[in-house]
Amino acid sequence: MNREDSMQTPLRVAIFAGNYNYIMDGPARALNRLVDYLERQNIAVMVFAPTAKEAAFEHNGTLVSVPSIPIPMRSEYRLGLGLSPRIKAKLKAFQPTIFHLASPDPMCSSAIRLAKRWKLPAVASFHTRFDTYGRYYGIGLLEKPLNKYLHHFYSLCDQVYAPSDSMVEELRKENFKTDLRIWSRGVDCERFNPAWRDLAWRRSIGFADDDVVISFTGRVVLEKGLEFFAEVIEILEKQNFAHKVMIVGEGPERARLQKRLPGAHFTGHLSDEPLARAYASSDIFFNPSISETFGNVTLEAMASGLPCMCAEATGSRSLVLQNKTGFMAPFGNHKDFALHLGAMIKSQKLRTTLGRAAIQAAHEFEWDAILAGLVENYRDAITGSNRPKTTIQ
C-alpha cells in the first residue's frame, strides 16, 4: 500500500489500555487526550480496557470493558486477561484499520495476535518503565526476564512510540530493534500557569506567605521514589533549611509516608482547578521518580512557574534544562539533591529565574500539534505494513 492509498483508507483506531478511567495517572490522561483529539478530527476510535466498579473520572470516547483481575501487590490496578468472544465481536463490528497497544499485558498480547490474523498494523506506546518496579517491591530478580518479555512484545509491533528522545536513546541502548518513534506529551498552559497561585489557600492549609513549599504530585506509590524523597527531606531538616512539604496525590503508601513526614501536608487526589492551584501555590517541585517515560507532572509544574528538582532519568531529561529550568541529579545521590534543593530554598532570586525559564520551556509542548504527528505515524504504519486491503471476517 502506498501513501496515497493510506490517506484513502479510513482511519479507525482500536486502543487497548491497562487503565483508561479507573485511576487518574499519566498514561490514562494521555490516552484520553488522544481519544478527544481523534474524535475532534472525525476519526473513529474505540477503547478496550479493564474497568472498576467506580471510575476515577469521566472518560472520553467509547470504552469497552475487558475481563481483568487485580494486579498482585498493586491491587488498585487491574490486569487485562485477553480478548473474549464478546470483545472480538465488538472489534469485528467496529472494523478497525489499526490497533494501538498501550500496555504490555495479556490483553495486548492477544490483540497483537489478532492484528496479525486480520492483517492489520499494530503499534504500541511506551508509557512506563515496568522493568524498574522490581527494585521497589523486593522482586529485582524478575527484572531480566521482564526485560526479555518486553523486548519480545515490542518487537512484534510495527511502530513503538516513546515519549521523548531520551527514552528512544535508552531503548536503543537496550537493543530494542523495532521502529522507534516519538509521541511526546503536551501541557495545557491555560490551565497550568502561575496565575493560579493562591496565598489565601496556602494559609488555609498552614503555610505562611514566606514559607518555601516543596511539593510532589503523583500517585503515592513506592515506584515514584518516595522513600528517597523522604530521606532527602530529612537531610534538609537536619541542615536547618526552612521549608514546608506538600504531597498532592493518593495511593497505598500514603499512611506510611505520613508517618515518615509528619509535618507535610497531604492534599489527597486533586484535579482540574484545585490541581492547578496546588502547583502554582508551591515554590519548588521535587520529582524523584525514575519509572516514568515522560514526566507529565514535571511539565505541569514547569508551566505553573516552578523550578524543578528531578532524578536524572528518562522522564525528566527531555524537560529539565540543568541550571536553567531546574536541576537533575542521579537517583540515590542524597548529597546532590539536598545541595540543589538547599540552594533554591535559600534564594528567591534563583527560584524566580528558574521558574520563568521553566514557563518558557513548557510552552514548547502544544497538544494538538503533538497528536497530529501521532496520526501521521498511524498513516505511516498503514502504508508501511504492505498488507492488502481486507474486510475483517
Look up residue 290 and give its DSSP letter. Answer: -
- Pairing status of strand 180-182 against strand 213-217: unpaired
- What pLDDT is attached to residue 36? 97
In this prediction, residue 163 has a pLDDT band, given cuts at 50, 70 and 90, of confident
Question: What pairs with residue 310 in β-bridges?
Answer: 287, 328
The number of beta carbons lying within 10 Å of the beta carbon of residue 255 is 10
With CA atoms as reference, report the closest residue to 375 among 43, 1, 69. 43
Does the pTM exceed 0.85? no
- What pLDDT is attached to residue 26? 84
Count helices and strands in the chain by DSSP H and E runs: 15, 15
- What pLDDT is attached to residue 5? 55
Q: Over the range 289-327, which residues count as b (16 or more CB within 10 Å of their CB) and which as e?
A: bbbbbbbbbbbbbbbbbbbbbbbbbbbbbbbbbeeebbb
Q: Return the C-alpha cell found at 180.
A: 522507534
Q: Return the C-alpha cell found at 386.
A: 504492505
pLDDT at 130 over 80: no
Per-residue pLDDT reduced to its tens digit, 57-99 = 999 999 999 999 998 877 888 999 989 999 999 999 999 999 9
The number of beta carbons lying within 10 Å of the beta carbon of residue 330 is 11
Q: Give percent helix, percent strand, percent coil of the chain, each to the nearest 5.
A: 45, 20, 40
Walk me through the domains of the chain, giving residue ranges and CATH numbers.
3-186+366-384 (3.40.50.2000), 194-362 (3.40.50.2000)
Per-residue pLDDT reduced to its tens digit, 30-48 = 999 999 999 999 999 999 9
Q: Return the C-alpha cell found at 221.
A: 506509590
Can you give the length of the chain in residues? 393
Rounded Cα–Cα distance for residues 24 and 21 (Å) = 7
Top-confidence residue, 198 or 145: 198
Q: How confident is the model over 150-173, as a mean pLDDT?
A: 89
- What pLDDT is attached to residue 109? 95
Write out the DSSP string of 360-382.
HHHTT--HHHHHHHHHHHHHHHH
Rounded Cα–Cα distance for residues 184 and 127 (Å) = 11
Torsions phi, psi of 99, nearest 5?
Answer: -105, 135
Per-residue pLDDT reduced to its tens digit, 241-265 = 999 999 999 999 999 999 999 999 9
